[in-house]
Amino acid sequence: MASDIFKYFIQATLDQQLDLQVYIFAEVQLHWRTVMCKTIVKKFDDLGDSLLHALNKILCGSLNYRPLVPYNPSVHINRTVVLTILPDKIYWVVLHCTWNLFILENLGVSHLNLHKNQRFAARETIDLIKQHLDSLFRQALVVMTACDVYTGVECIKIVVKQLRGYIQRNFLNKAAGALTASTVAAV
């Protein structure tokens, strides 16, 4: 959605700008239209987010405008827990997300010693992953109320990073997929 908003502003005609009560320099529009046509930039999400942040006071801080309230606000105010498990390490990050504001609440890394002949799709791998998950990470997954470390939320999102093979370490794509599936099962 942020990408679409950015593109709308860049392609807005003078009448549309008047309707939005904004003015966009023609040179800026021309520059970004050229960038779009040449596909120099393929994703405009971050630019759209930046634009929305810049327009925040205009869109939400004035008496002339009312902020849009989503149908399900808890989705936009949540804790997002991101987890990546490799054969030798576990990486995790906990973010508190409020619309387009992200606060890093916690992060960690711990060792995971999967042996070379470990079957990543086996039940033993899932159990081993569960045993090695940090207690603060486990808390981020289940505690919805505010505590010393985490802000209270109504929704917790969990993201498991999809792994790819790494030939230099003899870690094939098939094994990476199995380890990702075991990680999802463990969480």
Q: Are residues 164 and 86 in the same domain?
A: yes
Residues 77 and 24 in one domain: no
User: How does residue 9 score in pLDDT terms, banded at 50, 70 and 90?
Assistant: confident
Which of 31, 60, 89 terminates a domain? The answer is 60
Q: Is 89 helix (H, G, I), strand (E, B) or coil?
A: strand
Domain termination site, one of 10, 36, 60: 60
- What's the pTM? 0.57
The domain in which residue 78 lies consists of: 73-186
- Is residue 66 predicted with pLDDT exceeding 50? no
Number of structural domains (the chain) is 2
Same-domain status, 52 and 82: no
Over the stretch 13-24, which tens digit does the pLDDT of each residue have?
A: 999 888 877 778
pLDDT of residue 123: 93
Q: Is residue 89 part of a domain?
A: yes
| 109 assigned to some structural domain | yes
Classify residue 28 by burial, with Cβ atoms within 10 Å: 0-12, 13-18, 19+. exposed
In this prediction, residues 21-35 reach a mean pLDDT of 84
Share of the chain above pLDDT 90, in %: 8
Segment 41-68 mean pLDDT: 64
Q: Is residue 147 part of a domain?
A: yes
Predicted confidence band of residue 39 (pLDDT cuts 50, 70, 90): confident
CB–CB of 92/107 below 8 Å?
Answer: yes
Domain membership flag for residue 26 = yes
Residue pLDDT, tens place only, 72-125: 555 667 888 999 888 888 888 998 888 767 788 888 888 888 877 788 889 999
What number is the average pLDDT over the span 169-186? Answer: 84
pLDDT value at 11 more than 60: yes
* CA–CA dist 84, 61 (Å, integer): 39
* Helical axes 173-186 vs 123-132, angle rounded to 10°: 60
Res. 61: pLDDT tops 60: no
* Range of weakest confidence among 60-74, 90-104, 154-168: 60-74
Query: Are residues 84 and 127 both part of a single domain?
Result: yes
CA distance 175 to 121: 8
Kindly report the average pLDDT of the chain as a whole number. 81
DSSP structural state of residue 45: H
